[in-house]
């Protein structure tokens, strides 16, 4: 690959997804001098409050729910600075909540947003920054969250529309993104983490006698790309723990990351679904083939 600056665009759903899912990739790209663009679709106001210092009770107080949205946007901005993100876009849609909750049906929920509005906004960002690589979720949203699925649908629609000048002509010059990936936590990696947690006495799905390991993560055979993020793992965790409203004072997790992070979380893995050249698994660089 040439040394020219390239552009990575990631489309995520909630504040903190950028750090947990692609924090290593974003930081590595920035360290190599590439442009990084983060799009976060919702404010994440239906997340739990795990930081007691915030003194928020959004379950009972609507004003606290609105305040949580502000808090999570502030955390996202700080985490993006840790990852040295070049451009951050907060689209500001309302969190829809977990699958099956009554908020899924709310008119203001992201899942019920006007598809043309969401797609058009993403098309504008794609055409403005002309990314070489785009990363989002798969059609199951990674783990079935309605807003993650919506992010997938809207991103894929925007990728198609951005390349066609007859769609959203007001959004700028068409751009066809060369490489597209889905985030994908390899099943073998997830099982290894669960086994370690189980050994340490923590609650995991492995305690359920009906647990099906084939329900976890992404089948290893579908993984095309594994990027070693250990050189920037410290920055990834710093960014993730910036989201204190979600991470709180998780001392066990911090201890686990400090002592075993380089073994538990060595890679960020992906599925490549578009590339100008055939992918030779396991690819180790998302910018390969873009000479």
Q: Which residues contact 92 (CB under 8 A, 6 or more apart)?
A: 42, 43
Nearest residue to 237 via CA among 223, 212, 256, 219: 256
- 32 token code pair: 């190599």
Judge whether residue 188 has pLDDT over 60: yes
pTM of the predicted model as reported, rounded to 2 decimal places: 0.93
Judge whether residue 256 has pLDDT over 80: no
Residue 241 has phi, psi (to 5 degrees) of -75, -5
Nearest residue to 268 via CA among 168, 166, 184, 188: 184
- What rounded mean pLDDT belongs to the chain? 91
pLDDT of residue 114: 98
Q: What is the DSSP letter of 158?
A: H
pLDDT of residue 3: 55
Rg of the Cα atoms in the chain: 19
pLDDT of residue 80: 98
Cα separation, 79 vs 20, whole angstroms: 11
Average pLDDT, integer, range 251-271:
76
Residue predicted with more confidence, 252 or 201? 201
Q: pLDDT by residue (tens digit) across 210-255?
A: 878 777 788 999 999 999 999 999 999 999 999 999 988 666 666 6
Cα separation, 67 vs 271, whole angstroms: 36
Average pLDDT, integer, range 106-129:
98
pLDDT band at 1 (very low <50, low <70, confident <90, very high): very low
Residue 276 has phi, psi (to 5 degrees) of -70, -20
Judge whether residue 31 has pLDDT over 80: yes
Judge whether residue 257 has pLDDT over 80: no
Cα dihedral: 79, 81, 86, 92 (round 10): 40
pLDDT of residue 191: 85
Judge whether residue 277 has pLDDT over 50: yes
3-class SS at 116?
A: helix
- 162 token code pair: 């951005």
Report H helices in the chain: 17-31, 62-82, 115-129, 146-162, 187-199, 233-241, 244-247, 251-264
pLDDT of residue 192: 83
- Return the biggest CA–CA distance within the chain: 57
Judge whether residue 206 has pLDDT over 70: yes
pLDDT of residue 251: 62
Residue predicted with more confidence, 96 or 279? 96
């Amino acid at each position: 690959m040439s040394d020219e600056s390239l552009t990575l665009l990631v489309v995520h759903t909630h504040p903190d997804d950028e750090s947990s899912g692609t924090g290593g990739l974003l930081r590595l790209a920035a360290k190599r001098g590439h442009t990084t663009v983060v799009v976060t679709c919702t404010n994440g106001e239906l997340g739990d409050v795990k930081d007691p210092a915030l003194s928020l009770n959004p379950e009972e107080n609507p004003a606290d729910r609105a305040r949580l949205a502000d808090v999570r946007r502030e955390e996202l901005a700080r985490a993006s600075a840790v990852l040295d993100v070049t451009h951050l876009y907060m689209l500001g849609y309302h969190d829809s909540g977990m699958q099956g909750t009554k908020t899924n049906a709310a008119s203001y929920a992201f899942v019920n947003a006007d598809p043309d509005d969401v797609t058009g906004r993403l098309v504008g960002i794609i055409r403005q920054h002309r990314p070489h690589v785009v990363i989002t979720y798969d059609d199951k949203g990674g783990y079935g969250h309605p807003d993650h699925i919506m992010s997938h649908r809207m991103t894929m629609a925007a990728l198609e529309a951005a390349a066609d000048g007859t769609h959203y002509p007001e959004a700028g010059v068409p751009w066809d993104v060369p490489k597209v990936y889905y985030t994908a936590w390899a099943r073998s990696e997830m099982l290894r983490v669960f086994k370690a947690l189980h050994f340490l006495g923590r609650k995991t799905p492995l305690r359920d006698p009906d647990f099906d390991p084939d329900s976890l993560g992404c089948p290893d055979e579908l993984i095309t790309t594994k990027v070693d993020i250990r050189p920037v793992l410290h920055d990834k965790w710093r960014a993730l723990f910036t989201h204190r409203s979600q991470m709180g004072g998780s001392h066990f997790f911090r201890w686990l990351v400090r002592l075993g992070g380089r073994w538990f979380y060595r890679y960020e893995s992906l599925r490549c679904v578009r590339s100008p050249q055939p992918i030779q698994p396991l690819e180790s660089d998302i910018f390969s083939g873009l000479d």
